[in-house]
Amino acid sequence: MAIQDVLFLPGFMCDERLFAPQIKSLTAAGHACHVGNYGAGASIDRIAHELMKNAPARVALVGLSMGAIVALEVWRQFPERVTHMALLNGTARADAAGPSRKSQLRQVVEGGLSNVLRKELAPRYLAVGHNSEHLTELIAAMGQRLGPEAFVRQSVALMTRQSQLELLPSISCPVLVVAGDEDAMCPLSRQEEMAAAIKAAELCILSPCGHISTLEQPEHVNAALLRLLSNPAAQPTNVRAAVFN
């Protein structure tokens, strides 16, 4: 298996801890792992552009949720630099959560970041069987570390993003699409939509799993990523669906 540079792209208000099991697994397999920092970017196109300034010349992208949206934008801007792409719990559609995001923004500006993270985001992120105090506190800790200013920037970036549906047929590198069967944020239908439109996509449905597949089903995600990276970029696979329980 060829060694790859892998760039992990975190979800909304998440940091490298979102990918801790995957970084450990891929590093052990010899891959070079990097984690993207969204910095001061307040739009998806700007975040993607800034990320690639310091990224390896050729890189495999692993993005969850907001990270999957950023990964698609990286492909739009720099397709020649992307060797593989893993889109976890993401969507190619424009934002449909404007009212709830605006409500959360008001709370955060008024000092309610912790409450939004623990009471509004974490319960919707996790499958019923994974809704543990440990994962809730980890989600809150990641968001608290990034802080309210990052919450505002990332919310604006998500609210103002454009649909990427028309981009999907142009993706020619090997692609893994991961779905959680209990994902309340980006439901299974969104993953099926992406996988159907990307000619080189493998759709991996995890059960039980919510929106944070990397922490809810780490072993299955690790195996799927290693399988993806074993595919030469010039010889993409075309597997439609695999369901893991």
- Is a pLDDT exceeding 80 seen at residue 237? no
Q: What percent of the chain has pLDDT over 70?
A: 94
Cα–Cα distance for residue pair 176/179, rounded to 1 Å: 10
Q: Which two tokens stand for residue 224?
A: 């799927």
For the chain, give the mean pLDDT.
93
- Smallest CA-to-CA distance from 177 within 76, 66, 90, 243 is with 90
Average pLDDT over residues 144-160: 96
Cα–Cα distance for residue pair 215/220, rounded to 1 Å: 10
pLDDT value at residue 170: 96
pLDDT tier for residue 1 given thresholds of 50, 70 and 90: low
pLDDT value at residue 233: 66
Tell me the whole-structure pTM to 2 decimals.
0.93
